[in-house]
Protein backbone atom coordinates (compact mmCIF):
# COMPACT_ATOMS: atom_id res chain seq x y z
CA UNK A 1 0.00 0.00 0.00
CA UNK A 2 2.79 2.43 0.95
CA UNK A 3 4.68 1.60 -2.23
CA UNK A 4 1.62 2.40 -4.34
CA UNK A 5 1.19 5.80 -2.62
CA UNK A 6 4.89 6.60 -3.06
CA UNK A 7 4.76 5.62 -6.73
CA UNK A 8 1.70 7.78 -7.37
CA UNK A 9 3.35 10.71 -5.56
CA UNK A 10 6.45 10.40 -7.72
CA UNK A 11 4.45 10.39 -10.93
CA UNK A 12 2.16 13.29 -9.91
CA UNK A 13 3.35 16.73 -11.21
CA UNK A 14 4.11 19.26 -8.50
CA UNK A 15 3.32 22.97 -8.56
CA UNK A 16 6.92 23.70 -9.55
CA UNK A 17 6.64 21.39 -12.55
CA UNK A 18 3.41 23.11 -13.57
CA UNK A 19 5.10 26.52 -13.39
CA UNK A 20 8.02 25.29 -15.48
CA UNK A 21 5.58 23.87 -17.98
CA UNK A 22 3.85 27.22 -18.31
CA UNK A 23 7.14 29.06 -18.72
CA UNK A 24 8.07 26.81 -21.62
CA UNK A 25 5.13 28.13 -23.63
CA UNK A 26 6.22 30.86 -26.09
CA UNK A 27 3.27 33.14 -25.30
CA UNK A 28 3.93 32.96 -21.54
CA UNK A 29 7.64 33.61 -22.02
CA UNK A 30 6.91 36.66 -24.15
CA UNK A 31 4.49 37.97 -21.54
CA UNK A 32 7.02 37.45 -18.73
CA UNK A 33 9.72 39.20 -20.78
CA UNK A 34 7.38 42.12 -21.41
CA UNK A 35 6.58 42.51 -17.71
CA UNK A 36 10.31 42.36 -16.90
CA UNK A 37 10.89 45.28 -19.28
CA UNK A 38 8.06 47.17 -17.53
CA UNK A 39 9.46 46.63 -14.02
CA UNK A 40 12.05 49.49 -14.09
CA UNK A 41 9.23 51.97 -14.69
CA UNK A 42 6.50 50.11 -12.83
CA UNK A 43 8.33 49.78 -9.51
CA UNK A 44 8.96 53.55 -9.05
CA UNK A 45 5.37 54.26 -10.07
CA UNK A 46 4.04 51.87 -7.45
CA UNK A 47 6.43 53.10 -4.75
CA UNK A 48 6.21 56.84 -5.39
CA UNK A 49 2.68 57.19 -6.85
CA UNK A 50 0.35 54.32 -6.00
CA UNK A 51 1.46 53.65 -2.42
CA UNK A 52 1.37 57.36 -1.41
CA UNK A 53 -2.16 57.65 -2.85
CA UNK A 54 -3.32 54.63 -0.87
CA UNK A 55 -1.47 55.82 2.25
CA UNK A 56 -2.93 59.31 1.93
CA UNK A 57 -6.45 57.92 1.66
CA UNK A 58 -5.97 55.72 4.72
CA UNK A 59 -4.55 58.63 6.71
CA UNK A 60 -7.56 60.74 5.70
CA UNK A 61 -9.71 58.34 7.72
CA UNK A 62 -7.73 59.10 10.88
CA UNK A 63 -7.30 61.99 13.29
CA UNK A 64 -3.54 62.07 13.78
CA UNK A 65 -1.07 64.90 14.35
CA UNK A 66 1.97 62.55 14.17
CA UNK A 67 2.74 63.28 17.84
CA UNK A 68 -0.13 61.54 19.57
CA UNK A 69 -1.75 58.14 18.94
CA UNK A 70 -4.10 58.16 15.94
CA UNK A 71 -7.87 57.81 16.19
CA UNK A 72 -10.05 56.32 13.47
CA UNK A 73 -12.76 58.83 12.53
CA UNK A 74 -14.01 57.39 9.23
CA UNK A 75 -15.48 60.03 6.90
CA UNK A 76 -15.54 62.81 9.50
CA UNK A 77 -12.61 64.62 7.85
CA UNK A 78 -14.45 64.60 4.52
CA UNK A 79 -17.57 65.99 6.14
CA UNK A 80 -15.51 68.82 7.63
CA UNK A 81 -13.94 69.43 4.23
CA UNK A 82 -17.27 69.66 2.42
CA UNK A 83 -18.56 72.12 5.03
CA UNK A 84 -15.53 74.41 4.62
CA UNK A 85 -16.05 77.36 2.28
CA UNK A 86 -12.32 77.50 1.48
CA UNK A 87 -12.58 74.05 -0.09
CA UNK A 88 -15.28 75.16 -2.51
CA UNK A 89 -13.32 78.31 -3.33
CA UNK A 90 -10.23 76.23 -4.10
CA UNK A 91 -12.36 73.89 -6.22
CA UNK A 92 -13.80 76.84 -8.14
CA UNK A 93 -10.35 78.29 -8.78
CA UNK A 94 -9.02 74.91 -9.96
CA UNK A 95 -11.99 74.42 -12.30
CA UNK A 96 -11.58 77.93 -13.71
CA UNK A 97 -7.89 77.29 -14.28
CA UNK A 98 -8.60 73.99 -16.06
CA UNK A 99 -11.37 75.42 -18.26
CA UNK A 100 -9.27 78.46 -19.16
CA UNK A 101 -5.91 76.78 -19.78
CA UNK A 102 -6.60 73.35 -21.30
CA UNK A 103 -8.86 74.25 -24.29
CA UNK A 104 -6.92 77.38 -25.22
CA UNK A 105 -3.63 75.54 -24.86
CA UNK A 106 -4.82 72.71 -27.10
CA UNK A 107 -6.02 75.12 -29.80
CA UNK A 108 -2.75 77.05 -29.75
CA UNK A 109 -0.79 73.78 -29.81
CA UNK A 110 -2.69 72.61 -32.91
CA UNK A 111 -2.16 75.94 -34.68
CA UNK A 112 1.56 75.91 -33.89
CA UNK A 113 1.87 72.27 -35.00
CA UNK A 114 0.37 73.24 -38.34
CA UNK A 115 2.84 76.14 -38.57
CA UNK A 116 5.72 73.74 -37.84
CA UNK A 117 4.70 71.68 -40.88
CA UNK A 118 4.15 74.58 -43.24
CA UNK A 119 7.44 73.88 -45.04
CA UNK A 120 8.69 77.45 -44.88
CA UNK A 121 12.34 78.41 -44.77
CA UNK A 122 14.00 78.64 -41.37
CA UNK A 123 11.64 76.08 -39.82
CA UNK A 124 14.54 74.53 -37.85
CA UNK A 125 15.21 77.84 -36.11
CA UNK A 126 11.51 78.23 -35.49
CA UNK A 127 11.30 74.76 -33.90
CA UNK A 128 14.23 75.63 -31.61
CA UNK A 129 12.66 78.88 -30.44
CA UNK A 130 9.27 77.21 -30.15
CA UNK A 131 10.49 74.59 -27.69
CA UNK A 132 12.40 77.04 -25.51
CA UNK A 133 9.64 77.15 -22.82
CA UNK A 134 9.95 73.37 -22.44
CA UNK A 135 13.71 73.21 -21.95
CA UNK A 136 13.83 76.33 -19.78
CA UNK A 137 13.93 75.67 -16.04
CA UNK A 138 10.72 76.35 -14.16
CA UNK A 139 12.53 78.67 -11.75
CA UNK A 140 13.83 80.78 -14.65
CA UNK A 141 10.36 80.91 -16.21
CA UNK A 142 8.85 82.02 -12.88
CA UNK A 143 11.45 84.78 -12.48
CA UNK A 144 10.88 85.95 -16.06
CA UNK A 145 7.12 86.23 -15.66
CA UNK A 146 7.48 87.82 -12.23
CA UNK A 147 9.49 90.58 -13.90
CA UNK A 148 6.92 90.88 -16.69
CA UNK A 149 4.11 91.19 -14.14
CA UNK A 150 5.93 93.61 -11.83
CA UNK A 151 3.84 96.64 -10.93
CA UNK A 152 5.44 99.85 -12.22
CA UNK A 153 8.67 98.34 -13.53
CA UNK A 154 7.20 95.34 -15.33
CA UNK A 155 7.38 95.15 -19.11
CA UNK A 156 3.65 94.53 -19.56
CA UNK A 157 2.54 97.58 -17.56
CA UNK A 158 5.26 99.67 -19.20
CA UNK A 159 3.89 98.82 -22.64
CA UNK A 160 0.35 99.49 -21.46
CA UNK A 161 1.33 102.96 -20.22
CA UNK A 162 2.68 103.78 -23.68
CA UNK A 163 -0.87 103.49 -25.03
CA UNK A 164 -2.44 105.31 -22.09
CA UNK A 165 -3.60 102.28 -20.06
CA UNK A 166 -2.82 101.90 -16.38
CA UNK A 167 -1.94 98.25 -15.85
CA UNK A 168 -3.18 96.35 -12.80
CA UNK A 169 -1.16 94.82 -10.02
CA UNK A 170 -1.04 91.42 -11.72
CA UNK A 171 0.18 89.31 -8.83
CA UNK A 172 -1.02 91.47 -5.94
CA UNK A 173 -4.65 91.86 -6.97
CA UNK A 174 -6.84 88.83 -6.28
CA UNK A 175 -8.92 89.57 -9.37
CA UNK A 176 -5.87 89.44 -11.68
CA UNK A 177 -3.66 86.81 -10.00
CA UNK A 178 -5.48 83.83 -11.52
CA UNK A 179 -5.58 85.25 -15.09
CA UNK A 180 -1.86 86.07 -14.77
CA UNK A 181 -1.00 82.48 -13.82
CA UNK A 182 -3.27 81.18 -16.59
CA UNK A 183 -1.48 83.30 -19.20
CA UNK A 184 1.89 81.97 -18.06
CA UNK A 185 0.61 78.40 -18.14
CA UNK A 186 -0.84 78.84 -21.63
CA UNK A 187 2.53 80.19 -22.80
CA UNK A 188 4.41 77.19 -21.40
CA UNK A 189 1.90 74.42 -22.21
CA UNK A 190 1.54 74.30 -26.05
CA UNK A 191 5.02 72.94 -27.01
CA UNK A 192 4.68 69.50 -25.36
CA UNK A 193 1.00 69.28 -26.31
CA UNK A 194 1.78 69.91 -29.98
CA UNK A 195 4.14 66.92 -30.19
CA UNK A 196 1.36 64.45 -31.07
CA UNK A 197 -0.35 66.57 -33.78
CA UNK A 198 3.06 67.60 -35.08
CA UNK A 199 4.04 63.94 -35.49
CA UNK A 200 0.71 63.14 -37.15
CA UNK A 201 1.02 66.02 -39.60
CA UNK A 202 4.65 65.13 -40.35
CA UNK A 203 3.77 61.50 -41.12
CA UNK A 204 0.94 62.59 -43.40
CA UNK A 205 3.10 64.85 -45.53
* Residue 72, strand partner residues: 62
Crossing angle (nearest 10°) for helices 85-116 and 174-188: 30
Residue of higher predicted confidence among 183 and 131: 183
Q: What is the pLDDT of residues 132-183, one digit of tens each?
A: 777 777 788 888 888 899 877 888 998 988 898 888 888 888 889 999 999 8
Cβ neighbors of 112 (< 8 A, separation 6 or more) are 130, 190, 191, 194
Q: Are 108 and 186 found together in one domain?
A: yes
Is residue 12 domain-shared with residue 38, that is, in the same domain? yes
For the chain, the domain total comes to 2
Q: Which CATH number does the domain housing residue 184 bear?
A: 1.10.3720.10
In this structure, which long-range contacts are made by residues 157-165, counting pairs with CB atoms below 8 Å and at least 24 apart in sequence? none
- Domain span holding position 50: 2-82
Share of the chain residues as helix, strand and coil, in percent rounded to the nearest 5: 75, 0, 25
Element (H, E) at 15: helix 15-23
Q: What is the pLDDT of residues 101-116, one digit of tens each?
A: 888 888 887 887 777 7
Put simply, whether the predicted model's pTM sits higher than 0.75 gets the answer no
Residues 103, 179 within the same domain: yes
82, 107, 136: which is the final residue of a domain? 82
Which residue from 187, 188, 191, 182 is spatially nearest to 109, judged by alpha carbons? 191
| Same domain, yes or no: 101 and 152 | yes
Q: Partners of 71 in the beta sheet? A: 63
Please tell me whether residues 130 and 43 are part of one structural domain: no
Amino acid sequence: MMREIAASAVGRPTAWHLVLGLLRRPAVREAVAGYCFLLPGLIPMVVFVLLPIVGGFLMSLLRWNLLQPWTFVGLENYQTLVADSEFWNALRVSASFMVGVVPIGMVIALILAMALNSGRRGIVVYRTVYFMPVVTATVAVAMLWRWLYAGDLGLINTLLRLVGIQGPDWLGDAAWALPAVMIMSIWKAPPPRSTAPDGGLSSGT
